[in-house]
Amino acid sequence: MTQKYGKVYLVGSGPGDPELLTLKARRLLDTVEVVVYDQLPGKAIIDSIPGSTEKIDAGKYAGDHTLTQDEINGLIVCKAREGKDVLRLKGGDPYMFGRGGEEAQELIKEGIEFEVVPGITSAVAVPAYAGIPVTHRDHASMVTFITGHEDPTKEESALDWETLAKFDGTIVIFMGVKMLGRNVAELMKYGKDPKTPVALIERGTRPDQRVTVGVLENIAQVAKDRAVKAPAITVIGNVVTLHEVLGEQVPSGFE
């Protein structure tokens, strides 16, 4: 008799505001048997998981990963092989710097059925809540998303800072707080205007969201003075000037 494995759902939780969860994500959170989660979805969403569900903290905190990615992959496979439906809950969108693609590859390799449930990416939603549209007809017709924290095992960076410095659009950096000084220095090294506006948005779309604004040449010091901490999104470009015009959106739906 063929063993019946459970199904795995790779689910994006959005940027943190629980009302930005998709209807599909909410339904699955309420019905699966196991949820394996990181901290990026936020306390409000994690606390909304039913008490009867087996909840496993995968332990991905900034600079402190309790489980390696290989161990997380193994855990998801193990639970599915027990015949349980498993929801892998990830912040933002699972395929946008969320390592969801790696987890999907592992599930295919192990013969486990899976489904991807996209989420609202923090690259767009977090700046929006801070009054910063990533594109605007008067300021930017292009936007690029990059990671500010590459795989440390890489021999060299995959980021082409020379090309990015010439990019006449908005640059959005994920996970870039730790390497902020290096990243802005690279852009200026290759000719990016030191007066280019920059915004750092901590804990975006949550009640304690905080926005720090500066320019390339001083943002690292401003961030240090204000003790900016991850998780944060960095936005570079003229669209940042709209923050003062459009203001911040106060999230609703939190208790």
Assign residue 186 the CATH number of its domain. Answer: 3.30.950.10
Q: pTM of the full predicted structure?
A: 0.90
Q: How far apart are CA 171 and CA 98, in angstroms?
A: 18
- CATH label of the domain that carries residue 75: 3.40.1010.10
d(CA 150, CA 190): 20
**Residue 167, phi then psi, degrees to nearest 5:** -70, 120
Residue 79 in any domain: the answer is yes
- pLDDT, residue 1, reads 44
Judging by DSSP bridges, how do beta strands 232-236 and 170-174 pair with one another?
antiparallel
Claim to verify: residue 99 and residue 139 sit in the same structural domain: no
Q: Residue 221: phi, psi to the nearest 5? A: -70, -40
Distance, C-alpha 170 to centroid of its chain:
17
Tell me which residue of 136, 253, 227, 240 sits closest to 197, measured CA to CA: 240
Report the number of distinct structural domains present in the chain: 2
224 among known catalytic residues? no
Co-location of 157 and 218 in the same domain = yes
Query: One-letter amino acid identity for 120?
Result: I
Q: What pLDDT sits at residue 247?
A: 86
Question: Low-confidence residues of the chain, pLDDT below 70?
Answer: 1-3, 60-65, 149-157, 250, 252-255
Residue 221, judged by CB atoms within 10 A of its CB (0-12, 13-18, 19+), counts as exposed
Look at residue 254 and tell me if it is in a domain. Answer: no
Among 17, 38, 79, 93, the one annotated catalytic? 38
Spatial contact of 183 and 173, defined as CB atoms under 8 Å apart:
yes
pLDDT of residue 27: 98
Instruction: Give me the phi and psi of 46, to 5 degrees please.
Output: -60, -40
Residue 210 within any structural domain of the chain: yes
Of the listed 60, 79, 90, 192, which one is catalytic? 60
Amino acid at 181: G
CA atoms of 15 and 24, how far apart (whole Å) = 16
SS3 content of the chain, % helix, strand, coil (to 5): 30, 20, 45
Q: Which residue has the tokens 């739906």?
A: 253
Pair 215, 142 in one domain: yes
The one catalytic residue among 17, 90, 93, 175: 175
How many residues are present in the chain? Answer: 255
**Whether residue 38 lies in the annotated active site:** yes
229 is a catalytic site residue: no
